[in-house]
Amino acid sequence: MRLEQRGWPKTVAVGYKVAKRVRGLHPSGFREILIHRLEDLEKIDVKAEVARIAATVGERKRIAILERAKALSVRILNPGPAKKPEEAEAGAEEVEAEKIEPEKTEAEKPEGSEEHTSKSSGGR
């Protein structure tokens, strides 16, 4: 690395910086603001800033933030696959139904239809 040989990453040198005006901005050109609460959303300047919802925000609060952002016309960088409360309940019911179905299919199999997967016995 010090000798600038092939196979090593280039060392940081003068000239690698970006222009001061652009440094630290999102590629869209807006400044990112991290949102933890609804109150943080109220402070955003729509013309110069965009919001990024923090990773520690739960689904309920995320939905509230997304609805409020839509009303304020604030752009959210990571809206995610947030569901509405009705959809979340429906999803939970589907998971429970999937757990029950495999048990039924195993019980419905006839006893004589078992397949033997061991073929190492040479067909005996």
pLDDT tens profile 21-69: 999 899 999 999 999 999 999 999 999 999 999 999 999 999 999 999 9
- Residue range 86-96: mean pLDDT, rounded: 63
- Residue range 71-80: mean pLDDT, rounded: 94
45: its two tokens: 């300047």
* pLDDT value, residue 117: 59
Confidence band for 122, pLDDT divided at 50, 70 and 90: low
Residue 12, classed as helix, strand or coil, is: coil
Helix segments in 1-124, DSSP class H:
38-42, 59-72, 85-108
Confidence band for 115, pLDDT divided at 50, 70 and 90: low
Greater model confidence, 61 or 123: 61
* pLDDT value, residue 53: 96
User: How many angstroms separate the CA atoms of 12 and 117, rounded?
Assistant: 59
* pLDDT value, residue 14: 86
Q: At what angle do helices 85-108 and 59-72 cross, to 10 degrees?
A: 140
Q: Is the separation of the CB atoms in 66 and 76 below 8 Å?
A: yes
User: How many angstroms separate the CA atoms of 121 and 113, rounded?
Assistant: 20
User: How many angstroms separate the CA atoms of 123 and 113, rounded?
Assistant: 18
